[in-house]
Amino acid sequence: MIIPHKTQCYSDSQDPPEESIPLCTLRHFPNQIEHCIEWARDQFNTLFCDRAQDTIAYLADSKKFIAQLKQNTTTSGAKSQLEEIERVINLAAENSFERCLQVARDFFDHLFDHDIRDLLSLFPADHKDKNGNPFWSGPKRAPHEIVFNADNELHLSYVSSCANLIAFNLGVPQERDLNVVRELAKKYEGKPYTAKQIKVETPEEAKAREASGQPAPQQQEAPGMNDEEDIKNLVEKLQKLTISIKANVQAAEFEKDDDSNFHIAFITAASNLRASIYTITTADFHKTKLIAGKIIPAIATTTAMITGAVTTEIYKFVQGFEKLEQFKNGFINLAVNIFAFTEPDEVKRNKSKDYDPIMMGPIKAIPEGYTIYDKVVIQKGRSLTL
């Protein structure tokens, strides 16, 4: 799979010059909800993880980051990445949820409206291939753009989850009231659509070109005559910014099990918007969590058996049973139909010793007789070291 240019994060991205972009199923011709969810999962990583990690790495050691950047990418790529870091830091300095929402709205327009218009300008709904056959046929579904509507619950869910994730990245207070988010979204008009000039190569055209022995089309980059000078100026600007601004940037590491962190909410909204564009059946929150989180369902028989055994012990606990021998450990093997229950051992208690053979010296237990289930709370703030 060939991945085209990535969406710029936290940026008022300008339209690139004419460029050659190979097309692939996941990014341009999805036909299953799984394609849309995988695309949305990649968007999550790009927008809320990768860019934040770059900024964190820069703030930690700018000289090392720039040296590695120049070594691992082109001058044009280094310039673009440093510009992105500058935007992240500036946005953090604004410390405004409303500004985060505006960026989220720009993402919506870019991904679900402007990009789709660009694709349809290349391949209209009635477009035919070189053999005269309809281009949009078979697994290729003709898309249609979506215009943002703050009163549409799916549209609002996307910009709300997206804005809150940006706010998390930047240490900005989040806004969970959808009515407040809706009113803020209605106030922002968004950026007008500007058509791009793009050359593309479909998979079929690539096969035909390879069969004829022709070379691959060269990717055209933006003119980089002054990239080195631009990088130098950017580094100077960033140095001044990092001195005057303390950016509190953190990456959003994907976590599927916390429904309040907007991770699955964003992926659900983004994938369902993508599915709507391509007339694909959408998925609800739980199905999206299963697919995006790569959750493998447990065997129902085993789950029911374990749940029943555990719940039986919970009944004893809530009824006030205190004697250890009244509780049971279970050893069960459904394959050979073995059910064995035993009395549990007492928990090990750590005690002081005059000599411990492992530590080769005396050991003092504080407090005496503590177990792995005990904890000590030290209320002295977070700056203590051990």
Tell me, yes or no, if 49 is annotated catalytic: no
How large a percentage of the chain has pLDDT more than 70?
Answer: 87
Distances (CA, A) of 140 to 36, 37, 207, 279: 14, 17, 17, 11
Instruction: Give pLDDT tens digits for 109-147.
Output: 999 999 999 999 988 999 988 888 899 988 889 999 999
Band (pLDDT 50/70/90 cuts) for residue 104 is: very high
Contact in structure between 95 and 172 (CB atoms under 8 Å)? yes
Q: Domain residue spans in the chain?
A: 19-292, 300-342
Question: Across the strands, what pairs with 21?
Answer: 200
**Alpha carbon distance 177, 68 (integer Å):** 42
pLDDT at 1 (0 to 100): 27
- Distance (Å, rounded) from C-alpha 121 to C-alpha 123? 6
pLDDT at site 3 = 32
Looking at the predicted structure, is the pLDDT value of residue 345 above 60? yes
Structure confidence at residue 244 (pLDDT): 59
Topology at the third CATH level for domain 19-292: Arc Repressor Mutant, subunit A (1.10.10)
Higher pLDDT, 106 or 200: 106
Where is mean pLDDT largest: 24-33, 202-211, 256-265, 374-383?
A: 256-265
Residues facing residue 378 across a β-bridge? none
Percent of the chain whose predicted confidence (pLDDT) is above 90: 48
Threshold 0.85, pTM exceeds: no
Q: What integer pLDDT is reported at residue 304 of this predicted model?
A: 87
Neighbouring-strand partners of residue 128: 134
Mean pLDDT, range 38-62, rounded to an integer:
91
Q: Has residue 207 got a pLDDT over 80?
A: no
Mean pLDDT of the 35-49 span: 94
**pLDDT value of position 12:** 41
Active-site residue among 24, 49, 100, 162? 24
Instruction: Return the CA Rg of the chain.
Output: 28
What is the spatial distance between Cα 310 and Cα 332, in angstroms, rounded to a whole number?
Answer: 12
**For 20, how many CA atoms within 13 A lie in the half-sphere containing its CB?**
8
Q: How confident is the model at residue 358 (pLDDT cuts 50, 70, 90)?
A: confident
Residues ≥6 apart with Cβ < 8 Å to 168: 48, 174, 250, 252, 261, 262
